[in-house]
Chains A and B, each alone.
Chain A
Amino acid sequence: MKCDTGLLRAYLDDALSETERGAVAGHLAGCASCQAELAMLQKRSVQVMTRLAILEPEAGEAPDPAAALARFYAGAPAQAASRPAPGRALWANLKRSYETMKQSLLTGWRKPVTIGATAVACLLILFSFAPVRQAAADFLGIFRVRKFAVIPIDAAHTRQLEELAQLADRGAFGQPTVVREPGEPQAVASAAEASALVGFPVRVPAALPEGALPRTFNVQSGPAAHFEMDRTTMQAVLDVTQIKGVTLPDVERIVIDLDVPWVVTQSYRRGASLWTISQLRSPQVDMPAGLDLTALGAAAFEYLGMPEADAQRLAQAIDWTSTVVIPLPTEEAEFREVTVDGVTGLLLEPRSSNPHRVVLWQRDDIVYTVEGVYTDARELLLVANALK
Chain B
Amino acid sequence: MTTDPWHTAAPRPYTTRQPERAAQDFDALFLAHYAEIYRLLYRIVGAREEAEDLAQEAFLRLHRSPHLWVAGEQHEHNVRAWLFRVATNLAYNALRHERRSQARQERLADNAAGNGAAPDPIEAALQMDARTTVRQALAALPARQGQLLVLRYAGLSYRELAVAVAVAPGSVGTLLARAETAFERAYRALVPAQGGEHEV
Give A contacts to B, CB under 8 Å. 4-11, 13, 15, 40-41, 43-45, 47-49, 51-58, 60-63, 65-66, 68-69, 71-72, 78, 80-81, 89, 91-92, 95, 138, 184-185, 187, 216, 218, 265, 267
Given the known inter-chain contacts A52-B43, A78-B52, A78-B53, please indicate yes or no for A65 contacting B35, CB distance below 8 A.
yes
Could you jot down 11 A-B contacts, CB within 8 Å?
A6-B175, A40-B200, A41-B177, A49-B153, A51-B134, A55-B44, A55-B46, A56-B42, A69-B27, A78-B49, A184-B21
Q: Is the interface of B mostly helix, strand, loop or mixed?
A: helix
Q: Are B31 and A66 interface neighbours, CB within 8 A?
A: yes
Residues of B within 8 A of A54 (CB): 127, 130-131, 134
Q: Is the interface of A mostly helix, strand, loop or mixed?
A: helix
Chain B nearest CB from A221 CB (Å) reads: 14
Residues of A within 8 A of B20 (CB): 185, 216, 218, 265, 267
CA distance A265 to B181 in the complex (A): 57
Give B contacts to A, CB under 8 Å. 17-21, 24, 27, 30-31, 34-35, 38-39, 42-44, 46, 48-49, 51-53, 55-56, 59-60, 63, 114-117, 127, 130-131, 134-135, 137, 149-150, 153, 157-158, 170-177, 180-181, 183-184, 187, 200
Residues of B within 8 A of A184 (CB): 17-18, 21
CA distance A69 to B28 in the complex (A): 10
CA distance A38 to B6 in the complex (A): 35
Residues of A within 8 A of B115 (CB): 58, 60-61
Q: Are A69 and B35 interface neighbours, CB within 8 A?
A: no
Q: Report which of A8, A49, A58, A63 forms a contact with B117, defined as CB distance below 8 A.
A: A58
Given the known inter-chain contacts A15-B173, A72-B30, please indicate yes or no for A48 contacting B149, CB distance below 8 A.
yes
Residues of B within 8 A of A89 (CB): 35
Q: Are B157 and A63 interface neighbours, CB within 8 A?
A: no
CA distance A55 to B177 in the complex (A): 21
Q: Are A57 and B200 interface neighbours, CB within 8 A?
A: no
CA distance A63 to B46 in the complex (A): 14
Q: Report which of A11, A40, A72 forms a contact with B56, defined as CB distance below 8 A.
A: A72
